[in-house]
Structure 1
Amino acid sequence: MKDYIYWHLPGFSVFRDLNYTVIELMREFPNSFNENYRVGSVYGTFPGAIWNGGRTVLGFCPKNEIERTIKMFNSKHVPVRFTWTNPLIEEKHLNDTFCNLIMRLADNGENQVLVNTEVLENYLRKEYPGFKFISSTTKRITDPEKLHAEFEKDYFMVVLDYDMNHNKEILESLRPVADRVEILCDEICFPECPKRLEHYRDEALKQLEFEISRPFNCPNRQEKKSFEDCKNKPAFISKEEMKDYIDMGFRNFKLVGRGLPQELVLDSYMYYLVKDGEEDFIRNQINKRLAEINAKKMAARKR
């Protein structure tokens, strides 16, 4: 059995067509992608779901689109992973009609949830035990003892805080559970940011109140972001360094993208997933197929 490396891609809703296209291309042109690389999940939320955390995602998504999206990825045996990490969730929010609808539609034994708060996690485990549960990086766990305690709990995986990406002592200590660790490779935010938890709470409040116009007062705020910004951050893991992590037993790697331009996301896919020299071919394939999908959508609107 091959020892696959799994990549967890952002925005199953907002980047649905891009992610689905990449999954198809990895199967059609395996020699153009790095050996043994697979898509392990697509993570995110449907617009307007109040349990969502990490980034505010407002809007509306009808039932048929939810069903279609879940079916698209599950048909390729790729789990849809919900970012139910809003740290402000209280018991009064548990009966939210829309979020429970999403969970029911995805309750087929193939999908996953990222969790942050005990109140929501307990509810989900009771009502939807068929999902795999993953401890979110939004918990901001940087204490080694607390980190190791997460692996004593019933989590399918634990997403490492990106400030620990290059902490050799921590990484070595995680070797026994390396196959349950997920590492965020290309975080664009400022390292060791003292306002990170505050920022998560601000995004959570905007999600609950359906308000997005108020910007968060961040000293490191960037209006225009690029993949080159990610590469310049201390937490960044280069593709040359990937072998070191794989040799240590780490098998799950996450890419950022929610709330970021699709071009940045595509650049990260080209950098990490595609073999050197194959980037132009795969990028052209993606652009061609996305153009065809958009043309069909436009034609359907005119009918």
Structure 2
Amino acid sequence: MDDKIKNTSKPGVAYYHLPGLFEFYGLYRMFLPLFYHHREYFYNWCAIGSIYGALGDCIWGGGRTSFGVQDPEDVMDLMREYGISARLTFSNSLLREEHLADIKCNALCKLFETSGGAQNGVIVHSDLLLRYLESRYPGLYFVSSTTKVLTEFPQLQAELNRDDFRYVVPDFRLNKEFEQLNNLPQPQKD
């Protein structure tokens, strides 16, 4: 893989996090070669930060509807080829202890943790699932899901202060809180 394909953070670049990791696989098979090998077609300040999603029948999913059926090995091969971080969307807010043993979801986490290439992550809602994943799959990073619906700025700040999450996805209702967002410490903005 040449250097222009590697996914590294750069100042002044907007990183887009794209949906449909499994369900839009066919689109990404065509789009990613175009995006990475014909950069002249795209703004140089745009980059892909991650592609996220879940298979349609994952019990740990549930925060958003998903119809993805693509083979996970094929998906990981594509993400590895372009150095893109893949994020499993496991945002089911109703999980119970007995759901943690799900064979399919655990196999996906193992695959994503050991796939090589860019570090992969999991978007989570449930603290129960977060604790389980942290102990079982330490090679993954974690993202706080927008499905938590943190609509008050102090809630967002509390979530940003948690060491568990590399990223926090705020509720869209906070998008226009420009002054408060601007006053966040730089590490929390990054």
TM-score bracket for this pair, using the shorter chain length: 0.7 to 0.9
Matched, 1:44 2:53: yes
Contact 1:164 1:170 survives alignment (8 Å)? no
Residue 79 of structure 1, aligned match among 65, 85, 93: 85
Larger-gyration structure (1/2): 1
The residue aligned with 1:123 is 132
Residue 30 of structure 2, aligned match among 8, 21, 24: 21
Matched, 1:159 2:169: yes
Question: Aligned ranges for residues 178-189 of structure 1 at < 5 Å?
Answer: 178-179=189-190
Contact 1:20 1:73 survives alignment (8 Å)? no
Stretches of structure 1 lacking an aligned partner (at least 5 in a row): 180-303
- Residue by residue, what CA displacement relative to the aligned partner does 1:130-185 show, whole Å, maximum 9, x if unpaired? 10101111111122222111121121111011111122223223352211xxxxxx
The residue aligned with 2:101 is 95
- Residue by residue, what CA displacement relative to the aligned partner does 1:206-236 show, whole Å, maximum 9, x if unpaired? xxxxxxxxxxxxxxxxxxxxxxxxxxxxxxx
Matched, 1:66 2:69: no
CA apart distance, 1:35? 1.4
CA apart distance, 1:25? 1.1
CA apart distance, 1:44? 0.5
Q: CA RMSD in A?
A: 1.8
Give the secondary structure class of the aligned counterpart of 2:94.
coil
Measure the CA separation in 2 of the matches of 1:157 and 1:52. Answer: 18
The range that moved more, 170-179 or 24-33, is 170-179
Measure the CA separation in 2 of the matches of 1:42 and 1:59. Answer: 13
Contact 2:90 2:122 survives alignment (8 Å)? yes
Counting aligned pairs with the same residue, the percent is 35
Measure the CA separation in 2 of the matches of 1:96 and 1:129. Answer: 18
- Paired AA for residue 27 in structure 2: L
The residue aligned with 1:114 is 123
The residue aligned with 2:143 is 134
Give the secondary structure class of the aligned counterpart of 1:71.
helix
Aligned residue pairs total 176
- Residue by residue, what CA displacement relative to the aligned partner does 1:57-100 show, whole Å, maximum 9, x if unpaired? 35766xxx211111211221101101111000010100001111
CA apart distance, 1:20? 3.4
Residue 184 of structure 2, aligned match among 171, 174, 179: 174
Question: What stretches of structure 1 move > 6 A for 4+ residues in a row?
Answer: none
